[in-house]
A and B are shown apart, each in its own frame.
Chain A
């Protein structure tokens, strides 16, 4: 059956709470701040809000249920999206359908995480059952080591060099210098990238994100509601999600997008050539390169050539991760899965400020999450449209 479109539903009020490397504040605190900001944009009170979607790794022992009482909300629709880097798009598509069906009027989608000293180690050691049993005991390198293994196989298979990954990281740093919320504030050269200390070969320091604390959020509502409140909004032209794609692949050289990308473009009514800017989930430049291929911007194995031939900065011919991505803005836990989406909403609604891409009307956002054992299991993508700047 052909999927319905998202007509009449929009996404609005994008907010980012500036990230901090280490913070004693809890996930509750970070989520509250993002929620307050996004509601203030729409001039909604917390008690008026009837839909709430939460993504966080560090709420324990609470769930979003506990948060409703903690934050004084009385929603009639509540969702929890535990999908790490895929959370933003997945939260959006679930909320959009609920609004479209009339189950809820306004959904606040929020991701936020704490980062205390040592909380990253504790998160890694009990991230998932398979990680506890079969990956963490093997050197305890965490996701850096697991993705380094994928990178090693990927580089060998497709002849990719460290310079190719470096181009992605360097362009994102250049973008981050225009984004006031970025943790990284100094320029990065390709030479610095290549001579960085090794983390887990072939990865060096600048292949890795910096864990930090922070929160991101946005609202999903009917278009007439957004208009009556005078909000700048983006439309949703298509979305996809997939979990545990290609389990028979010995090592992850492709993500779940490959299974669903044709449907995404079909629903949007255009191909990759119509995309003005791309926000990929960049836990590592390798994963962004994999998305260039799997989202159809180039053929499989052509990712390295693609980054050699394109300028990935804000003013380039292929604007990518315009707020610096997690590599330069920082990875605030599950908020990392919102970063690109929130930036894309700002871009197509002309609110991106220093990172604004000219004529940004069609943006693609893709998410990727949850390295349960040897590969990331969740993939997602969405295409948003707006008036641009």
Chain B
């Protein structure tokens, strides 16, 4: 059984801080299919469209019949460890600082042999559940996990290096007024977070939750207005070195399309939803990027909560949808800019949240508690793209199938 991860000791500023390095990140184009699946928590391998043979490592032609029609499909994860090793010597700078490192060979029930990372609870002869996860280089990698979940299994150092688990980490939630703020605090503490900072803008305008949240143990409510550059910089100067996970809950929503609406509302939406994200990233990103290899409470993830209409506009919320598309685009650039540090950019795409601004919409809507659960699950699993609620999942599937058809359905024209 995995040893329980202990809270990190207070840092000694005279000791060397481990600098961010990445595991090998070059991949063939075919192998990026693993990365794409891992990014959303799926387990997919290539299946031959002609003979059905399952392929691994990823290929350009079937090793059984030479067909070039290989499709990525959800695949059974079960297999057996047939060999294991503990690596004590490596020429790679990333692994040299993390030795010894265990890897193994697993025979999957669907056929191929997979060379993979081994969770500490599995060894030769064991039945396992294979998982695909993103490593620090942002590439999809295989890790063999125990078939049964055990209480502290996420504490395994090799598995933990592939996730953004909140345990013993300090979190900044940027907007206390988000209906998800309180459920997020509860879910993060349940997952083992050590401290939570909560941003509050215009503190003279206290919301009903302020007193309850401010009274919580290990929670600090601090002034933060993402539309104000100096406010963001001031908070980063104060707590930037202590933020291991940043969850951006700030958002501004007003209903209405583009033709009839006042651009003042649109400006506010872009100011908070798109430029606010940029300000947060500019203020907190560099500091977080420098601490991604810094022990148990290293900086690990920057989480952005987006409407799923970032993918395809909802005309009833036209300017808001545009701000979400802009935020998604910014997050993709940030992901590239964070890449060299291993800091993970997680986008949580949600359907309409059950709050005051989405009252005109019919159900199903996402309860704030469900959104909080998705965010924390995304961190615990280490995925890059989380789709929360039935509306978001349904829309993602339709978007993946055909973005144009989805657009027509959303803008009227589907039966």
* A residues at B contact (CB < 8 Å): 118, 120-121, 124-126, 129-130, 132-142, 144-146, 148-150, 152-153, 156, 197-203, 247, 250-251, 373-374
Q: Does the CB pair A140–B27 fall under 8 Å?
A: no
On whether the beta carbons of A149 and B91 are closer than 8 Å, the reply is no
Q: By the criterion CB–CB under 8 Å, are B89 and A132 in contact?
A: no
A134, B24: Cβ atoms closer than 8 Å: no
Q: Tell whether A138 pairs with B141 under 8 Å between CB atoms, given A120-B91, A149-B105.
A: yes
Q: Is the CB of A247 within 8 A of B141?
A: no
Residue among B104, B105, B139, B141 with max Cβ neighbours from chain A (10 Å):
B105
Partner of A247, one of B63, B90, B135: B63
Q: Which of B30, B85, B94 contacts A149 (CB 8 A)?
A: B85
Closest chain-B Cβ to A210's Cβ sits at a distance in Å of 13
A–B pairs, 29, beta carbons within 8 Å:
A126-B26, A129-B57, A130-B57, A132-B26, A133-B31, A134-B31, A134-B56, A136-B24, A137-B139, A138-B141, A138-B142, A139-B87, A140-B95, A142-B90, A145-B87, A145-B103, A148-B85, A149-B83, A149-B104, A149-B105, A153-B83, A198-B86, A200-B85, A250-B113, A251-B105, A373-B115, A374-B105, A374-B113, A374-B115
- Beta-carbon contact of B83 and A201 below 8 Å: no
- Chain B contacts for A148, CB-based, 8 A: 85, 87
For the complex, is B117 an interface residue (Cβ under 8 Å from A)? Answer: yes
Is B265 close to A, CB under 8 A?
no
Taking Cβ atoms with an 8 Å cutoff, the residues of B that contact A are 23-28, 30-31, 56-58, 63, 82-92, 94-95, 100-105, 107, 113-117, 124, 135, 137, 139, 141-142
Give the distance in Å from the alpha carbon of A118 to the alpha carbon of B93 in the complex: 12
B23 touches A137 (CB 8 A): yes
Q: A138-B116, A149-B115 are in contact. Are A251 and B94 (CB under 8 A)?
A: no
A6 to chain B, nearest CB (A): 34
Select one of B26, B31, B117, B137 contacting A138, CB under 8 A.
B117
Q: A250 CA to B115 CA in the complex, in Å? A: 11
Contacts of A139 in B (CB 8 A): 87, 90, 95, 101-103, 117
Given known contacts A198-B88, A200-B85, is B113 in contact with A141 (CB within 8 Å)? no
A251, B139: Cα distance in complex, Å: 25
**Inter-chain contacts of A202 with B (CB < 8 A):** 85
Q: A134-B57, A251-B82 are in contact. Are A200 and B115 (CB under 8 A)?
A: no
- A140–B88 CB distance below 8 A: no
Kindly report which residue of chain B lies nearest to residue A147, judged by CB atoms. B85
| Residues of chain A within 8 A of B101, CB atoms compared | 139, 141
Q: Which residues of A contact B63 (CB under 8 A)?
A: 247
B386 smallest CB distance to A (angstroms)? 24
**Assembled-state Cα–Cα distance A144/B99 (Å):** 14
| Smallest CB separation, A334 vs chain B (Å) | 19
Expressed in whole angstroms, the minimum distance between the Cβ of A329 and any Cβ of chain B is 21
**Residues on the B chain within 8 Å of A149, using CB:** 83-85, 103-105, 115
Would A145 and B28 be within 8 Å (CB), given that A133-B58, A138-B141, A373-B115 are in contact? no
- For the complex, give the distance between the alpha carbons of A146 and B28 in Å: 20
Q: Across the interface, do B92 and A152 meet the contact criterion of CB distance under 8 Å?
A: no
